[in-house]
Structure 1
């Protein structure tokens, strides 16, 4: 390939096909015709001396060579975009783009509705996507371009990322109204569930990884006790629904519990053991730090989520 005569516009086409797995969807992404994208792919194959994609059903699957240059290509295109679009030139009212957030469905309730309203009013051309957390690999989606921002519990992060603290969130116990054992014990909503009863009841647990223990179990273990987890679910909405329609109980973030309790028929109680409220942080790849769209979106998201903060880091249930 003669780089001096190579059409660099073809790199945008290659990136779009790698992202979409389809010339049809790549054409929509680039605002081009499908025939133009197919023609560009033919030129790419000739110039790069590789098939680049093979058809598998309705998708185009990248060859090993195409896969090997996918991330380096995307990094270079991002770098060029940052160079050619200085921050002063960014106007959210006219900006067009897609911003992907990887987070639990806690944020489907607590972030996405106000974010939708904000984007409608300030940046109607920007699309927001909430994508699933990848079990045991929350950060990798940033490196592989599956997400632009991760909203996760505080943890050690690699040196190619940046982070910002967002909010602390305490936990409450949820149970359905007129829960048999809790009613028999004469417990009023908002009171502490006695330790023996708490450990005796069946629990549902939020765990994208399918683990049968979490922060609540570590807190119990420090007191020499354990609970009975009989069900795990990868989404908080599933945990709340399972509790609402059974005699299971669960520990969930207080903000979420207060939001969904009225429509799901849930009552809130205090756990019998102290649990340090975890800090939730925003994490992003440093390559995106200077991107005008990324900076604007993360500032708005950080502002919206910080409203959830419970204040000083104090233990509850003590």
Structure 2
């Protein structure tokens, strides 16, 4: 009996010791978010704008289907430092995946490298980071194809000797800078007399786009056309053209959502709009995340529901979702995004 009692006391103290050790374990970034469910941190360039909201909607729908948790958090303005802070928070929270549209690829390089060193999968979408700092880039369209597409459409509007200006998102936006590089190269080769007057950043802000468009029209009397290259610049520029009564003099071509440009297309303040479906871009991003988690190969030419066939450039670890879509006054009602 005495031995049994001593054994019970020994078991009790062993259990007590295990309880104390478990209770005192320090919570670190690696175990704060440890759950069975996969947690994806999705970071847009800027929160609260329709384009990225639709990306998030598509991403969340597919994440829910796969039983993943999507955490969508972005800066209130297109600010790279704010994105870095959000990435730091997500690393500490223990997410399994970071999907980001970087404002500035160089600014997020170090923190993305840190995330990958901790075992976090990094996928870029809409805009790329430094290639070495991510696993895969989900690109909406081929930059070369889009650059040529924009210039060809612009020439149809203003002629091959016209003068135009560009409203870009920001001077550090990797995707827009790459599009502009291809535009310039194609223009120099095919339309050497087409004249780019200036490039003005709008910081993904409609009010800034409105103000800059007014300034451009006043500063450049020779201006024939404007290419508004972010989804927030399009509506702002169109409103300025409308208010100034310049729709017959200035041909506005926008990369913007058809729903945002519907009325402007029909009344003529914007003459043509080009884009892709951001909802599909969000879905494809999560599809890629799922493949990486399952260690599945990304296949060139594959389709995912209504998305595809995609193009996969293995040497660059880059996926191209599809081709650009054009919207005009005649077909804009056929699209709802």
| TM tier, smaller | 0.3 to 0.5
- Report which structure shows greater RCO (CA 8 Å, sep ≥6): 1
TM-score scaled by structure 1?
0.42
